[in-house]
């Protein structure tokens, strides 16, 4: 099984994900934009059992915004790591910027596109766009 490694901004928190991701996407919601510090948040989706902290677990902090999706980050450098699904906590949204190499996942969708900032021109990349959260797979 493929294993992908990543870390926070200062390198103190290190993480490994194993196997294949459930998907990858871009989120344009206000919460993710603020958390990422950019106009869009690129994330990869993993089952929680596929994500393992290999160093710095004691430095992981989290904050739960009003939308209920806990955001996890390094308490030393503030580097964003992942978020948990607000309702189920079944999939971990690991920030793509966390990985130290291309994890081989490609975007499957864009969500909360109705919340994109007005100066952000979302590229015509052919990805499915959802005005709110991506509907669950059936």
The domains located in the chain, with CATH, are 3-26+37-107 (2.170.150.70)
Query: pLDDT band at residue 123, thresholds of 50, 70 and 90?
Result: confident
C-beta atoms surrounding 28 within 10 Å: 21
Which of 9, 1, 123 minimizes the C-alpha distance to 52?
1
135 versus 9: the higher-pLDDT residue is 9
pLDDT tens for 58-112 read 999 999 888 778 899 999 999 999 998 878 777 789 999 899 888 887 888 999 8
Rounded to 5 degrees, what are φ and ψ at 102?
A: -70, 115
pLDDT tens for 38-55 read 889 999 989 999 999 999
Continuous H helices in 37-100? none
Query: pLDDT band at residue 137, thresholds of 50, 70 and 90?
Result: low
Residues 6+ apart with CB under 8 A from 38: none
């Amino acid at each position: 099984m493929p294993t992908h490694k990543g870390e926070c901004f200062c390198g103190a928190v290190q993480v490994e994900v194993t196997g294949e991701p459930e998907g990858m996407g871009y989120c344009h919601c206000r919460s993710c934009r603020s958390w990422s510090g950019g106009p869009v948040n690129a994330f990869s989706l993993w089952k929680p059992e596929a994500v393992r902290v290999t160093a710095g677990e004691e430095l992981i902090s989290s904050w739960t915004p009003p939308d209920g999706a806990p955001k996890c980050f390094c308490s030393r450098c503030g580097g964003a790591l992942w978020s948990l699904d607000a309702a189920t906590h079944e999939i971990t949204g690991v920030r793509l910027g966390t990985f130290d190499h291309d994890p081989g996942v490609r975007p499957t969708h864009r969500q909360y596109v109705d919340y994109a900032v007005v100066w952000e021109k979302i590229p015509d990349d052919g990805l499915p766009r959802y005005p709110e959260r991506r509907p669950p797979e059936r």
